Structure 1
Amino acid sequence: MAMQERAVRTRKSLIHTAAAVFAEEGYAPSSLTTISKRAGVSNGALHFHFENKKALAQAVEDEAADTVRRLVRPADRAGTSALQALVDATHGLAECLLDDIVVRAGFDLGSERALGPEARLLSAWREWVEETLRRAEAEGQLAPGVSPDDAAAAIVAVTVGFEVLARDDPHWLAERRIAGFWQLLLPGIAAGYGPVRARPAAREGECSRAEEA
């Protein structure tokens, strides 16, 4: 049991260290030697857990995708409208991108196309946004003539764009930026804009709560 626990801790440490190295150096220039040294393990120990750099990057992206799925789960709870769920989740995602190196590296890996067709984080986020907007349409929340697909494309493009811009300036992920985006978008897509807030009800700890869920 002690060996199993140690192996789990080593694997988790390698994933988090790899995420930090990928975020700092980029996927292509980074090396497994750098990652293993920073994690404090031998190259042999790293290869015991991960066959190659791509497998390690896939593990980083998998963990990031799991965090994002846990993040959106509370937004889907009963009693929350679809549009409010979208607002809340984008604020939560911005917080995760600021605070969670694995989530940040996962989005970076997707935008670098490091994993090619196997990348799933960006597609998971896009699919959830699309599904939630279809729910908003079914709930009668979208204004006449608003296409869920078109609205989803705008929301995904902006949220991913904020992440890219924040690599050089984290202020792009500030709450006021995300709220400002929704204040511009909601009047154009929402039928009855008033009940939907541009800011979430709970603005702190969203990423940490997603990790603990």
Structure 2
Amino acid sequence: MTNLSPRTAQVHRPQSIDEQQQSIRTRRTILAAATDLINTGRAVSIGDLTASGVTRGDIHFHFETKHGLIRGLIDDAADQVHRRSTPGGDQCPHRHRW
């Protein structure tokens, strides 16, 4: 029998539309807070991110590591550039990569 860690043993139930939208808003809040911290020249810490109204659990759910957060910031910036440079890009569905 395989010994599973609590993280890999979790079973996620399907999310409702409201839960999905809330999850997207939470992820965007985290990314916006991290972007603001970086733009002011400050280091990004979990404590600073929680000041934006998200919980530590929210941060770890969306980004398991700092590398994951950095990747999320890069992906988000690339999506913004793509939407701005594509005719009708604002109407394109946002690509989610999490």
TM-score range, shorter-chain basis? 0.5 to 0.7
* Counterpart contact for 1:32–1:53, Cα < 8 Å: no
1:67 aligned onto 2:83? no
2:35 to 4, 14, 19: 19
Q: Which runs of 5+ in 2 are unaligned?
A: 1-15, 92-98
What code does the residue aligned with 2:75 have? D
What code does the residue aligned with 1:34 have? D
1:173-192 to structure 2, matched below 5 A, reads: none
* Counterpart contact for 1:19–1:60, Cα < 8 Å: yes
Q: Could you tell me which residue of structure 2 aligns to residue 34 of structure 1?
A: 48
**Relative CO higher for 1 or 2, CA cutoff 8 Å, sep ≥ 6?**
1
For 2:31 and 2:44, the matched residues in 1 are separated by 14
Q: Name the SS for the 1:25 alignment partner.
A: coil
2:61 to 45, 48, 51: 48
Query: Size of the alignment, in residue pairs?
Result: 75
Which 4+ residue blocks in structure 1 deviate beyond 3 angstroms? none
Shift of 1:63: 1.1
Normalising by structure 2, report the TM-score. 0.64
Distance 1:25 1:32, change over 3 A: farther
Percentage of matched positions with identical amino acids: 31
* Counterpart contact for 1:18–1:35, Cα < 8 Å: yes
For 1:5 and 1:71, the matched residues in 2 are separated by 23
For 1:72 and 1:40, the matched residues in 2 are separated by 32
Shift of 1:34: 0.6
* Counterpart contact for 1:15–1:59, Cα < 8 Å: yes
Q: Which runs of 5+ in 1 are unaligned?
A: 75-208
* Counterpart contact for 1:18–1:57, Cα < 8 Å: no
For 1:54 and 1:62, the matched residues in 2 are separated by 12
For 2:77 and 2:63, the matched residues in 1 are separated by 17
